[in-house]
Chain A
């Protein structure tokens, strides 16, 4: 059974710093891995999706990497801004048409 773990559960950093959020999964036979952002009281916004054959994806100041052999993914945020404050969730999908399994998320707070 796939389990997704995110560390740390919460993180506070000063504005402008670069930061890394970690995600680990127990079954390396994933189809894809997706990073989401969730603002308080809101739904989930997809940030980046990495296919199993890919190593990384980039969008603006965000870069997500995937290492299936070690069961890890990281989300790198460059030059953090207060508007980046949110909960970041990673989710693993095992098969093309299967459900996705979420971690509990990392609550990120960027200090002005």
Chain B
């Protein structure tokens, strides 16, 4: 079974440029999460989807961040325009509601804004 797949693995962009990250969750997992991990910190939730509905986006900086989950499967996270402080690792995770198995994380996308 393939795990959570994220792309790209690395991205370097200049500030004020747009950037997008893609996530393909584990097949059948209806809940998808985007987390951001700053250097030396634990991951923090940006947005949580149940199927195609964003049920918790309270921590998403909506002035520059947007996300979507097409047909309740793949998801994209976009930043426009990027700022220096957005440099971090962006992690995607998925889980199945009602199944006590915890989360499965992808390998993440390391974003560097210069």
Task: Name A residues whose Cβ lies closer than 8 Å to a Cβ of B.
Answer: 4, 32, 34, 36, 41-46, 49, 51, 89, 91, 96-97, 99-100, 102-105
Complex: how many Å from CA A105 to CA B41?
Answer: 7
A44's partner among B41, B43, B97, B100 (CB-CB below 8 A) is B43
CB distance from B85 to the nearest CB of A (A): 18
Count of chain A to chain B residue pairs whose CB atoms are closer than 8 Å in the complex: 52
CB pair A34–B103 under 8 Å, yes or no, is: yes
Chain A residues near B25: list those with CB within 8 A. Answer: none
Q: Is B44 an interface residue (CB 8 A)?
A: yes
Task: Name B residues whose Cβ lies closer than 8 Å to a Cβ of A.
Answer: 4, 6, 31, 33, 40-45, 48, 50, 56, 91, 93, 97-98, 100-108, 110
A97 and B97 in contact (CB under 8 A), knowing A43-B106, A43-B108, A44-B91?
yes
A99's partner among B41, B56, B100, B106 (CB-CB below 8 A) is B56
Chain A residues near B106: list those with CB within 8 A. Answer: 43
Chain A residues near B4: list those with CB within 8 A. Answer: 43
CB distance from A1 to the nearest CB of B (A): 12
Chain B residues near A42: list those with CB within 8 A. Answer: 107-108
The residue on A at minimum CB distance from B101 is A49
CB pair B98–A96 under 8 Å, yes or no, is: yes
